[in-house]
Amino acid sequence: MKDTGLYTRLLGIKRPWYIKEVTYGDNPERIDIYLEYGPGIFLPIPECDKYCPVYDHMQEREWQHLNTCHVATYIHARLCRIKCKEHGMKCIISEWAETRSDMTGFMLCD
């Protein structure tokens, strides 16, 4: 199993997200996991449940996850915005940084 497959299972990453890359060679005390959306996706607007295409992406953010075998583990992603004709621009919230998530929600990037 490739590292991406292993971490997909360990973290419970679901579509439309996928793990693009896992790096751990440069710093033995840190694992970095990079997530992306699949191409051509449509996401629901929470207010109306209508599916809309991705409008753009925000800057990359970084969240600290629980350690992997005593090695600090960080998730990187660029959350997207979607545009609804009725409700306007909406930012997608990551499921890994929500309340009661296994992740700390600690953001290092703005």
Cα four-point dihedral sign 9, 12, 15, 21: negative
- Residue 106 has a pLDDT of 40
Per the structure, the count of domains in the chain is 1
- Residue whose pair of structure tokens reads 């409700």 in the numeric block: 87
List the domain range (segments joined by +) for residue 64: 3-40+58-79+93-97
**Nearest residue to 11 (alpha-carbon basis) of 88, 106, 105, 75:** 75
- Asked whether residue 47 is assigned to any structural domain, the reply reads no
The pLDDT tens digits of the residues spanning 37-94 come to 888 888 888 788 888 888 888 899 898 888 888 999 999 999 888 888 888 888 887 7
17-23 and 88-91: which strand pairing?
unpaired
The pLDDT tens digits of the residues spanning 15-45 come to 888 999 999 877 789 999 999 988 888 888 8
- Asked whether residue 102 is assigned to any structural domain, the reply reads no
- Asked whether residue 69 is assigned to any structural domain, the reply reads yes
- Asked whether residue 28 is assigned to any structural domain, the reply reads yes
- DSSP 3-state assignment of 1? coil
- Asked whether residue 14 is assigned to any structural domain, the reply reads yes
- Residue 105 pLDDT > 50: no
- Asked whether residue 21 is assigned to any structural domain, the reply reads yes
d(CA 41, CA 36): 11
